[in-house]
Amino acid sequence: MDETTVFLLHGYCHLVNQTIQCVEKYFEGIVPAGRPDRQIYWKTKEIYDTVSELLEKGEKEQAKRTVLEYMTYCETYLKEGEPWKTWKEDRSLCRNTVLNCVQMVANLSVLMTPFVKYPALKVESWLDIKGDWQVQSVHSGYELPQTERIFLINPTADSGREKEESLIPMKQALKKAL
177 falls within a domain: no
The CATH code of the domain that includes 53 is 1.10.730.10
119 falls within a domain: yes
**Preceding amide of 119 cis, omega within 30:** yes
160 falls within a domain: no
How many domains does one find in the chain? 1
* Residue 116: predicted pLDDT: 85
Phi-psi region at 52: left, alpha or beta (left = phi > 0; alpha = psi -120 to 50): alpha
31 falls within a domain: yes
* Residue 165: predicted pLDDT: 45
Containing structural domain, residue 132: 3-149
14 falls within a domain: yes
Which residues does residue 143 pair with via DSSP β-bridges, in sequence order?
Answer: 30
**pTM of the predicted structure, to 2 decimals:** 0.84
* Residue 151: predicted pLDDT: 67
174 falls within a domain: no
Segment-wise mean pLDDT, segments of 10 residues, the chain, 178 residues: 84 93 96 96 98 97 96 96 96 98 97 87 90 94 89 52 46 44
166 falls within a domain: no
115 falls within a domain: yes
Residue 71 burial class via C-beta count within 10 angstroms: exposed 0-12, middle 13-18, buried 19 and up = buried
